[in-house]
Structure 1
């Protein structure tokens, strides 16, 4: 990942400010603040409108709604990495007694569990959580509206269950766990469960007149994991940098990347949006962005990252409706990516390499198809057709001499390094696909065998 954190060019900053200013006017929002992240820090941050008589800056809190779900997913991924649960586990294995016990943890995180979108009335976003004191109060008697795993169906109560799961395993309130395991390590002191001044008030704008109506800012109680958090542009810029690169104190880059991989079936054969684990996906200008939108009465927010461009963006506003924050955020990313494309890090030789890994480097053949295996600087290897495309994959060491695929067709599949009696590498077996140093090497156990007459002229 590029660590280019140089300030943006003045003309780029002006273009970003123009887009933000026109959004504030067109969306008739009392205030809006945005930040662009590059190289691990905000390289542009500005606001329009007014909060408390002044222009909002990176320290003003806004309610971030469903962005809370991404934070909760980080906590679950930490539990997974610690071996305390598996994403394929059913909820009842860790949180018995709910009406949704058959839902898998991955199904909850990806909104594919088939649960209802909302709680039984009244609407939880505008009513206090004291109306739903028990976990059973956020679910209907029959919580499923679709067969599990059939399709993506967004469920706010599903994340109330995720919060309860974290509390059951950790033995503490989810907000405390979040503070100790994510917010404090990342230095996000201005991200809280309840607003702490300076903060924006939430407003509804009349659809046909330029007048305001205050919105209630309730404590969502049991539904808090679906949308409780308040944060700032500066704090969320830090979180965007984390979602780009990971942080070993919180969650590895590999686990963060797993969150943004598609985890639910798209609505159609070609798609421009999707969902991973606690992260929305959006296709723009040939790139897949990942992040989340958030809304609570009086507030809309969004955070998106573009790993291809090593960029992140945050947009926060205090209006109930009418502001297309995903489009605004995508426009801000595009302006920077087009005007100041990412400068790649200089090429450098590998800092070290295991001789047994180096022995695997170079061309391999799947039948007559030439592939290449290359060691990577992070200790992983990359393997794919020399011509590009196809079923290429990245693989991580499994710790026992094998490798495990991380992407594409071979994700989760094992690559075994097979050796002959003398200890030399004979061939590779990747998910039953045999790779040899020569096309259809007769000395290797090629499935179906190799014609003993060998290659011949036509």
Structure 2
């Protein structure tokens, strides 16, 4: 990945600098570093510091807290894609004896396993990991606070279990697996479990005075897969590009898209904020924009990685204070500034190289009852079904070798769409999970459920 600030307009770059300058000053952060990604490349980097002449660059490490969870989720999805596990498997099948084995792997990834948010005992983020040498020390005697699978309840111990699962199935320490399977292939050479110089020190800023207190630097031990990593704005920019597009060396575009898909019901307070959770990724609606990514915090550090896939813009914000700058808001604002000032230029329209006649035959208007829909063949060789106007159910479908199609998203995700033909081979109607779509509203020649009045359409008189 190269850095090319010239690709952004001077006015856009100034707006980005202004935003992080306000965040660092008003948030009273010892330092703050940020990066913006567009088109898979870093196009802007900025930093502010309380020490003149010591602004951090894109290679200075900060702790990234729970962004570590997204890395752990990538490792788990790799195991799934290799066929070593199914997300619906109970943890007990692969990692027996934890006391939390009834939870499925998907539930652990989406924080719906019902586990406690924190480990029992002293605050794990500010005490040595040696106090919790075993999984039983992380989970405690009563690991479940909620019914399994019923409630979204963020759980750090849940990701400790996922890290242990990775170690069990790979037969190697979590950090070694991460380095071999994710960090090295993506070129994230400045991401590590232990700090590597140059790195920022973590500070607490007095809430009522401009005074500093150093925060302790602890190795989290068993909790490492939930929040241990150190990284840089440069490395996280590369990671953001991967989470938007995928990389076949690590995880396919389809699998990273699955990570970005809501998998957990939002809690009542989160509904108002438009926040939900996928598989190792947070999802939110902000300023009319769908944003995915993850935030992170540990004593002395705050971090945020956020992506707008539709705008093809991502942002990273890192700072070295326990509280102060609202890095999630800053990250979202950096994305908004670029997306609004320099909207994404769409790729040129190009016709399909080829299209099967039986697929092309499906394209065009269809009616479900009196509701008008259109089925279109898209440039990626999928079929897109949606209402001709207004809101309604929309989904893309993938064609199968047997002539059927499978829904990929929304209400129709996983649902079968079956083209039905007459005895002479001509296309009669579409059967979409028992919904009959016809070329004419309530076509009398199609098997419309409940039948069609033989007298047909009429006036009111």
Question: Which bracket does the TM-score occupy, shorter chain normalised?
Answer: over 0.9
1:245 maps to: 245
Q: Which residue of 2 aligns with 1:144?
A: 144
1:128 aligned partner: 128
- Give per-residue Cα distances to partners, 1:248-303, cap 9 Å, x unaligned: 22222222222222222223364422222211122211112111110111111000
Which of 432, 436, 439 is matched with 2:438 structurally? Answer: 436
Aligned to 1:412: 414
CA shift, 1:5, in A, is 9.4
Tell whether 2:261 aligns with 1:273: no
* Change in CA separation of 1:374 and 1:26 when aligned onto 2, cut-off 3 Å: same
Q: TM-score, normalised by structure 1?
A: 0.94
- In the alignment, structure 1 segments of 5+ residues that lack a partner are none
1:168-205 Cα shifts (integer Å, max 9, x gaps): 22222222222222222222111111111111111112
Query: How many Å apart are 1:444 and its aligned residue?
Result: 2.3
Q: What pairs with 1:316-355 in structure 2 (closer than 5 Å)? A: 316-355=318-357
Matched residue, 1:66: 66
Question: What is the rounded CA distance, in whole Å, between the counterparts of 1:418 and 1:76 in structure 2?
Answer: 40
- Confirm or deny that 1:106 pairs with 2:72: no
Q: Does 1:255 align with 2:255?
A: yes
Aligned counterpart, 2:404: 402
Instruction: Say if 2:36 and 2:43, in contact at 8 Å, map to a contact too.
Output: yes
Partner residue, 1:361:
363
Distance in 2 between residues matched to 1:193 and 1:52, nearest whole Å: 29
Question: Which residue of 2 is the match for residue 299 of structure 1?
Answer: 301
Paired with 1:379 and 1:75, the residues of 2 have a C-alpha distance of 30
Query: Relative to structure 1, is the Cα distance of residues 52 and 224 closer, same or farther in structure 2, using a 3 angstrom cutoff?
Result: farther
Alignment-derived partner of residue 97 in structure 2: 97
Alignment partners' CA distance in 2, 1:50 and 1:209 = 15
Distance in 1 of aligned mates of 2:383 and 2:274: 30
Q: Is the 8 A contact 2:305 2:314 kept in 1?
A: yes
Higher mean displacement: 211-220 or 135-144? 211-220
Contact 1:50 1:56 in 2 (8 A): no
Aligned partner of 2:456 in structure 1 is 454
Structure 1 residue 380 displacement after superposition? 1.7
User: Is the 1:5–1:38 Cα contact (8 Å) retained in structure 2?
Assistant: no
Is the 1:5–1:39 contact (alpha carbons within 8 Å) kept by the matching residues of 2?
A: no
Contact 1:51-1:200 within 8 A present in 2 as well: no
SS in 1 for 2:337: helix
**Does the CA-based 8 Å contact 2:61-2:197 persist in structure 1?**
yes
Deviation at 1:379, TM superposition (A): 2.3
Residue 457 of structure 1 and its aligned partner are, at CA, apart by 4.2
Instruction: State whether structure 2 residue 197 is matched by structure 1 residue 187.
Output: no
For the structure 1 residues 429 and 453, does the alpha-carbon distance in structure 2 shift closer, same or farther, using more than 3 Å as the test? Answer: same
Quote the Cα distance in structure 2 between the aligned partners of 1:168 and 1:400. Answer: 39
Tell me how many residue pairs correspond in the alignment: 455
Instruction: Tell me which residue corresponds to 1:26.
Output: 26
Cα drift, residue 113 of structure 1: 1.1
Q: Residues 455 and 151 (structure 1 numbering): CA distance in 2 closer, same or farther, change over 3 Å?
A: same
Structure 2 distance, partners of 1:398, 1:71, is 32
Comparing 156-165 with 123-132, which one deviates more in the overlay? 123-132
Deviation of 1:93 after TM superposition, in Å, equals: 1.6
- CA deviation profile, 1:406-452 (whole Å, cap 9, x unmatched): 22211121112223334333322111111122222233222122233
Look up the SS of the partner of 2:420 in the other structure: strand
**What RMSD, in angstroms, separates the aligned Cα atoms of the two structures?**
2.0
SS at match of 1:248: coil
- Runs of 4 or more consecutive aligned structure 1 residues displaced over 4 Å after TM superposition: 50-53
The TM-score normalised by the length of structure 2 is 0.94
- 8 A Cα contact 1:132 1:138, kept in partner: yes
Partner of 1:221: 221
Specify the SS of the correspondent of 1:439. coil
